Amino acid sequence: MKRRKVYRKVRDKTAGKVRSLHRVLAEQMLARPLAPGEMIVHHRNGDSTNNDPSNLLVMPSQRYHAHIELGLTRNLQMG
């Protein structure tokens, strides 16, 4: 059974909305906003609660993210 991912949320007071913390941190690392749908923020160790900047990886697309996830899954299964 696949574990459900949990993402910490924060209130963006300037925009007046709730956002995912890992996306806010990625924007701070890049020193620019992420464009809507432009980038995926991946948690390197697979733990969606670990928002340490060293654990976050910004990817150019969902397709690329899926490719990386597949490779990681295969490597873990092989040992």
Dihedral of the alpha carbons of 17, 23, 28, 30, in degrees to the nearest 10: -130
Q: Which amino acid is present at 6?
A: V
Extended strands (E) in 9-72: 9-12, 17-20, 40-43, 56-59
Task: Tell me: pLDDT of 64 over 90.
Answer: no
Average pLDDT, the chain: 84
Task: Tell me: pLDDT of 24 over 80.
Answer: yes
Question: Model's pTM, two decimal places?
Answer: 0.74
Mean pLDDT of 39-49: 88
- Contacts of 38-42 with CB under 8 Å at 24 or more apart are 40/64, 40/65, 42/68, 42/69
